[in-house]
């Protein structure tokens, strides 16, 4: 299949562009407007570099060493030294999709014409992305201020033909070898280029964009799981009526409730307890309040998307080139606070949505609360344990998610001899959010697995067409229905893959014509 192509211009790249490049392997090129903007800003840098007046980042040292004027014959060494010394990451390799997102976003900032980098250097970043060459970036090394310094420096090192990379096949090779194999030549960094390559929030922003993409899908999936749970636990759908949501007009809540109504429509199980013989007054909070929790999560994700959109439209560098005014100015735009805050906020969302999902699951397993289902949904309770330990797995993950919900952005450790005395820790917030998203995926997958088993146990009553489609999806994927105990871990992993791929909400949406 032919890969997509993303052209980077002077305007912001889109969420879809980031996902296409990071996960889809899209090729990348520079637009003509970007080429022209790069040339204009580079002319300003070269004029200042030739002048007698020291200019930060062009003819001076960096950070706490900014007071030293660097003579012209030492400036190429200055740029090399900056990148080499700042490529100080440690720990496990960062995922390929994160590094590709980071590189695209750095290229997007460079293309605005506010960094002073040469066009050929920017083109090399596009070339690396198109060739599938991914610099080895390490887990630890960014404080989320002065940019994601160490991660971006490892990428800049590759442009110099140094360090290690993964080639398109995933093999670990030297940067010089990978560049040569792809027909690409390394660059010798000129004045300001080293600083322009490493001074951005691109790593944390890339992880934010990917997390938003994942959470939007997961929250639709959580609605499906909740509908299956309410239905199989003989709950009512009347609490999700549009007129009840309208009197508390949060948009996410309304969309989530509308999904639940559509997902449970025409269910024989729900219809079986609508009559006057039903003596239940209210369902438990984890069932009845699903739209309130899922809806608040949706609204929070959209707030984070607004912040991410602003950051995608930003040119984050220091100093920044203002070509129209023919000058370079220092600024604080590299501080990651705006991104760090919403990264932390989303970790709270992931923990709480997982928490309510686990509570819905647990109700299935308790014979005092599951309205006639066997204990633990076991085939022969006592001999069989059913889904008892699947809930343990959920509980262990939810406990970890609660720990991960503690914010990173409230911490700050001064660096650079107190020049950089307040930092955002946004990279750390992004790294833990990735673990949170993975955990939420697994928790929701266990709920889907358990609810599907419970719906089968309500036979001969039929579930709704939408939830029935999800049950069929699982069965066709090899997840068997109720029966004696069997190895459960592979079934959980199958459900995890179905949730990650978006197949669960897609199966339901195919029946009801879409989900909000």
Which residues are catalytic, by number?
Answer: 56
Asked if 242 and 290 count as a contact pair (C-beta separation under 8 A), the reply is no
Q: 138 — phi, psi (to 5°)? A: -105, 160
For residues 474 and 478, give the distance between their C-alpha atoms in angstroms, rounded to a whole number. Answer: 7
The two structure tokens encoding residue 215: 């959470």
For residues 108 and 209, give the distance between their C-alpha atoms in angstroms, rounded to a whole number. Answer: 14
Question: What angle is formed at CA 436 by the lines to CA 431 and CA 440, rounded to 5 degrees?
Answer: 155
CA proximity to 99, closest of 65, 130, 138: 138
DSSP state of 321: E
Distances in Å between the alpha carbon of 322 and those of 54, 315, 318, 467? 17, 11, 12, 56
Omega cis (within 30) before 460: yes
The two structure tokens encoding residue 142: 């960014």
The beta strands (E) that lie in 239-338 are given as: 320-322, 327-329
For residues 372 and 158, give the distance between their C-alpha atoms in angstroms, rounded to a whole number. Answer: 62
Q: 219 — phi, psi (to 5°)? A: -75, -35
Q: Where does 132-250 have alpha helices with state H? A: 149-159, 175-181, 193-198, 202-232, 242-246
């Amino acid at each position: 299949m032919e890969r997509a192509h993303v052209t980077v211009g002077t305007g912001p790249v889109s969420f879809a562009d980031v996902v296409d490049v990071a996960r889809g392997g899209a090729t990348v090129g520079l637009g003509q407007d970007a080429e022209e903007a790069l040339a204009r800003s580079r002319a300003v840098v070269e004029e200042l570099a030739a002048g007698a007046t020291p200019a930060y980042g062009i003819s001076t040292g960096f950070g706490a060493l900014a007071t030293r004027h660097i003579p012209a014959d030492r400036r190429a060494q200055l740029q090399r030294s900056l990148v080499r010394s700042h490529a100080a990451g440690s720990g496990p390799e960062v995922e390929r999709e994160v590094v590709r997102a980071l590189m695209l976003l750095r290229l997007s900032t460079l293309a605005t014409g506010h960094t002073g980098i040469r066009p050929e250097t920017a083109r090399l970043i596009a070339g690396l992305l198109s060739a599938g060459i991914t610099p080895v970036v390490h887990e630890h090394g960014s404080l989320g201020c002065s940019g994601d310094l160490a991660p971006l420096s490892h990428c800049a090192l590759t442009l110099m033909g140094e360090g290690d990379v993964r080639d398109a096949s995933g093999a670990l090779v030297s940067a010089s070898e990978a560049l040569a194999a792809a027909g690409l030549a390394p660059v010798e960094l000129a004045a300001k280029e080293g600083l322009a390559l490493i001074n951005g929030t691109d790593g944390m922003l890339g992880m934010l964009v990917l997390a938003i993409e994942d959470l939007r899908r997961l929250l639709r999936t959580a609605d499906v799981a909740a509908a299956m749970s309410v239905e199989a636990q003989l709950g009512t759908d009347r609490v999700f009526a549009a007129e009840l949501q309208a009197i508390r007009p949060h948009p996410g809540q309304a969309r989530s409730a509308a999904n639940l109504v559509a997902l449970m429509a025409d269910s024989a199980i729900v219809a079986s307890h609508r009559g006057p013989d039903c003596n239940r007054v209210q369902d438990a909070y984890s069932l009845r309040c699903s739209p309130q929790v899922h809806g608040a999560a949706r609204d929070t994700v959209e707030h984070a998307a607004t912040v991410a959109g602003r950051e995608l439209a930003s040119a984050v560098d220091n100093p920044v080139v203002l070509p129209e005014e023919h000058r370079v100015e220092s600024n604080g735009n590299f501080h990651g606070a705006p991104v760090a805050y919403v990264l932390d906020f989303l970790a709270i969302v992931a923990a709480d949505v997982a928490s309510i999902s686990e509570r819905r699951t647990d109700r299935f397993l308790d014979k005092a609360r599951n309205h006639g289902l066997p204990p633990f949904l076991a085939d022969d309770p006592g001999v069989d344990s059913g889904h008892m330990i699947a809930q343990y797995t959920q509980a262990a993950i939810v406990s970890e998610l609660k720990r991960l919900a503690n914010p990173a952005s409230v911490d700050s450790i001064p660096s650079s001899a107190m020049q950089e005395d307040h930092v955002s820790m946004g990279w750390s917030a992004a790294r833990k959010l990735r673990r949170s998203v993975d955990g939420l995926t697994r928790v929701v997958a266990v709920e889907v697995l358990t609810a599907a088993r419970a719906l089968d146990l309500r036979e001969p009553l039929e579930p709704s067409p939408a939830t029935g489609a999800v049950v069929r999806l699982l069965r066709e994927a090899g997840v068997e229905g109720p029966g004696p105990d069997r190895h459960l871990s592979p079934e959980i992993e199958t459900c995890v893959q179905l949730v990650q791929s978006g197949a669960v909400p897609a199966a339901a949406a195919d029946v009801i014509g879409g989900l909000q």
